[in-house]
A and B are shown apart, each in its own frame.
Chain A
Amino acid sequence: MKPLTFFFHVSLLFLVGSIGLVAAELPRVALFTTGGTIQSRGEHRMKLMEYGAGRVTPDELLEDLPEIHRIAQVEVIEISNVGSPQITTDHLLRLSKELNATLERDDVTGAVVTHGTGTLEETAYFLHLTVRSEKPVVVVGAMRPFSAISRDGPYNLYSAIRIAADPDAKGRGTMVVLNETIHSARFVTKGNTYRVETFVAREMGPLGYVDSDRIVFYRNLLCRHSSESEFDVSNLTSLPQVDIVYGYQEASAASILGLIKDGAKGIIFADSSPAFRAALHRAQAEGIVVVQGDRKGAGRVLQSERSAGRGFVTADNLNPQKARMLLRLALTQTQNPREIQRMFNEY
């Protein structure tokens, strides 16, 4: 071997070695995929609704985003590839258990979960309450499919992985990121059917923003969550049945009576109707815990003499679908309304 070639080989080795070193130093992010619009395809790029031309695999998501290798090493755990209406308790429990196990590993900095946007906030809040780690969990989705014109998915996914890899994201529980906005799972809700700015926290606003120059957190969460949570799903294979009843003018008691028959363990009522009163009383007599929620989408349900006198737990400012998640977890511990009210006041 000529000295020059030798030198070339040595430097090549050194170069490869240092690339390896750089890669090894990048934070490791676990990408859990469940599906959703972000993993959906339409027949053509103008297909922004009813897109049904197949699913995008986790590998395709990553191949589509080579820039990700500049900021993180990504490992994939596929949970499912379904839209958010198909997400079940089995998905939630499996996701939470796998997240708990993965985040316990020293080499993992944080996790990202892809999810359909329709029920994304429910899954995110469930993870916020049950993933008992200080490491960040970032739930991400898209409003436009993978195949669409001006699709939002790639930048949302890039942003989510960037946050999961950020040391400053630690201790904030589960977050949701779309449209460069970082929300806490505690407050976020889907507030628009099709726009890219759909995720909002109507009163408390976002925790921060993921901007080109840096990730900025303006708010620290004071509600109890994740590593401080008392909820442990490690031995659970199911969750108590809790359903939501929507209140409106002259709403009948039929759905409440049906739920009693169906064996529900908890009922959230989102606003009331005169017919609800006797039916809810009957539900309570059957041992069903009743939570007073609200359909307005902003503001707390106040703790009043009247509600307390009727034995209702009040939902604070949790929307009905999130109050349902907290009640399901609460019911794994207790049926005592006062104890459950404490949980609604703390989480």
Chain B
Amino acid sequence: MTYSFFSGFSRRAWTCAALLGCCLPFTLSAQEIPVLAPPGTDLPHVRLVSLLGTISGTAEDRMNLTNYGDPRVSADDWVSALPELHHYARVSTEDLRAPEGRGMTEAHWMTIARRLQEIAEDDSIDGVVFSHGTNTMSETAYFLNLVVSIEKPVVFVGAQRPWTGISGDGPLNMVNAVRVAATPEAAGLGILHATNQNIHPARDVHKSSAYRVNTFQSIDLGAIGVADPDIVRIYTAPARLHTHKSIFNIGSIPEELPAVEVLYGYTGTPGYLVDTLVEHGVKGIIIDGTGAGSIPRDMHEAIERAQENGIVVVATARTRAGRVQDTDRRREAKIVPGDNLPPEKARILLQLALTQTTSVDRISEFFVQY
């Protein structure tokens, strides 16, 4: 009994509203059906910002789901391809793609964060949607979640299939992202992610499958809400600090963040990898440990040497589920427990934490709060 809003809302919205009007006395005993507002009247203003991604990619053959790319679909192309957007929001667009030939970079994070902070202070905009490539989308989203003070809804969206792909997931994802950004209940929840009809918080969302449309999951926790064909409903709010409650701010962090790199734990990860990073001048290292965040034996001495050089070491768990706990042994070894963050996100938090302090205790607190 699926009620598709592509066929339903666009073609039937007016008939439905008119019918409801005439039959009001007869339908009052029944439940209310959400009636779409007429296009353009008093709708929230959503700014759609393109950071490209697969959702903007094209290919000549619709069966090409892997080697797509230029020419890119622009944010305006999305809006003209999706007239249904006008039922939910007044959409304006901007292009904030990274400089030609570069993927996403830390320097570009800074540009995006500054721009989002401007949008936060622009009263004419009610909500924001960012397109992004799916591979590192959760990193950019988590960075903004920590440094931009904003309460209006901000929604990251992407697609697993190019805009031209057969059964492309992009169009519905885009419509739903705009719907969520236009939903007042989505405000104050931090940076959100909406794909595959689910809503996730930036902190927890994780790309868990290379090609499937259900790739985004909050492992160990689950979604916070849904963008269903009838309504957007949000059931829970993330409890960790974010956006307007974060002490990190784009206005005060340095343009270049302290260097932090990630090492992967496996049977016999050699200590020289740690030494190499130290020589390279890193300020922090994330060890994506085995099991519950265990650090391979061969790394121990090298880690002690790194710590003597003032480098902060955080342990995450390569299991991708479950917390790295605050244990006596870890405390003695001055290893910061990475909670349940994956290493790529622990890295961002450590980079920001290191702008404030090098105290292992204080940084451990950040990993409990954020």
Binding site for B on A (CB under 8 A): 184, 186-187, 201-209, 211-214, 216-223, 300, 302-314, 316-317, 336-338, 341
Q: Is the CB of A308 within 8 A of B33?
A: yes
Which residues of the partner chain A approach B235 to less than 8 Å between Cβ atoms?
186-187, 204, 221-223
Q: Is the CB of A300 within 8 A of B228?
A: yes
State whether the Cβ of B356 lies closer than 8 Å to any Cβ in chain A.
no
With A204-B236, A213-B327 in contact, is A219–B30 under 8 Å at CB?
no
Q: Is the CB of B325 within 8 A of A212?
A: yes
In whole angstroms, what is the CA distance A40 to B239 when docked?
37
Contact indicator per residue, chain B 16-43, by CB within 8 Å of chain A (1) or not (0): 1000000000011111111000000000
State whether the Cβ of B238 lies closer than 8 Å to any Cβ in chain A.
yes
Q: Which one, B31, B222, B239, contacts A313 given CB within 8 A?
A: B31
Nearest CB in chain A to that of B229: its residue: A302
Q: Is the CB of A309 within 8 A of B30?
A: yes
Q: Is the CB of B32 within 8 A of A341?
A: yes
Between B16, B30, B33, B233, the greatest number of chain A beta carbons within 10 A of the residue's beta carbon is seen for B30
Q: Is the CB of A338 within 8 A of B237?
A: no
| Interface residue tally for chain B (C-beta within 8 Å) | 43
Q: Is the CB of A207 within 8 A of B236?
A: yes
Q: Main SS of the interface on chain A?
A: loop
Query: Can you list 14 residue pairs at the A/B interface with Cβ under 8 Å?
Result: A186-B235, A187-B235, A203-B223, A205-B220, A205-B221, A208-B239, A214-B326, A219-B238, A220-B238, A220-B239, A303-B231, A310-B30, A337-B31, A338-B28
Chain A nearest CB from B25 CB (Å) reads 14
Contact indicator per residue, chain B 199-232, by CB within 8 Å of chain A (1) or not (0): 0000010000000000000101111101011110
Q: Which one, B29, B218, B340, contacts A311 given CB within 8 A?
A: B29
Between B31, B224, B239, the greatest number of chain A beta carbons within 10 A of the residue's beta carbon is seen for B31
With A213-B325, A218-B238 in contact, is A308–B30 under 8 Å at CB?
yes
State whether the Cβ of B114 lies closer than 8 Å to any Cβ in chain A.
no
State whether the Cβ of B252 lies closer than 8 Å to any Cβ in chain A.
no
With A203-B222, A220-B237 in contact, is A305–B327 under 8 Å at CB?
no
Which residues of the partner chain A approach B229 to less than 8 Å between Cβ atoms?
302
In whole angstroms, what is the CA distance A53 to B231 when docked?
51
In whole angstroms, what is the CA distance A94 to B229 when docked?
41
Chain B nearest CB from A53 CB (Å) reads 36
Binding site for A on B (CB under 8 A): 1-3, 16, 27-34, 185, 198, 204, 218, 220-224, 226, 228-231, 233-240, 322-323, 325-327, 337, 339-340, 368
Chain B nearest CB from A169 CB (Å) reads 12
Q: Is the CB of A222 within 8 A of B33?
A: no
Q: Which one, A316, A317, A338, contacts B30 given CB within 8 A?
A: A338
With A211-B323, A304-B3 in contact, is A314–B31 under 8 Å at CB?
yes
Which residues of the partner chain A approach B322 to less than 8 Å between Cβ atoms?
209
Which residues of the partner chain B approach A304 to less than 8 Å between Cβ atoms?
1, 3, 33, 230
Which residues of the partner chain A approach B31 to less than 8 Å between Cβ atoms?
303, 307-308, 311-314, 337-338, 341
In whole angstroms, what is the CA distance A96 to B1 when docked?
37
Nearest CB in chain B to that of A339: its residue: B31
Nearest CB in chain A to that of B203: its residue: A218
In whole angstroms, what is the CA distance A205 to B29 when docked?
35
Which residues of the partner chain A approach B230 to less than 8 Å between Cβ atoms?
300, 302-304
Chain B nearest CB from A102 CB (Å) reads 27
Nearest CB in chain B to that of A337: its residue: B31
Which residues of the partner chain A approach B339 to less than 8 Å between Cβ atoms?
216
Q: Is the CB of B3 within 8 A of A302?
A: yes
In whole angstroms, what is the CA distance A231 to B188 when docked?
29
Q: Is the CB of B3 within 8 A of A204?
A: no
Q: Is the CB of B222 within 8 A of A201?
A: yes
Nearest CB in chain B to that of A184: its residue: B236
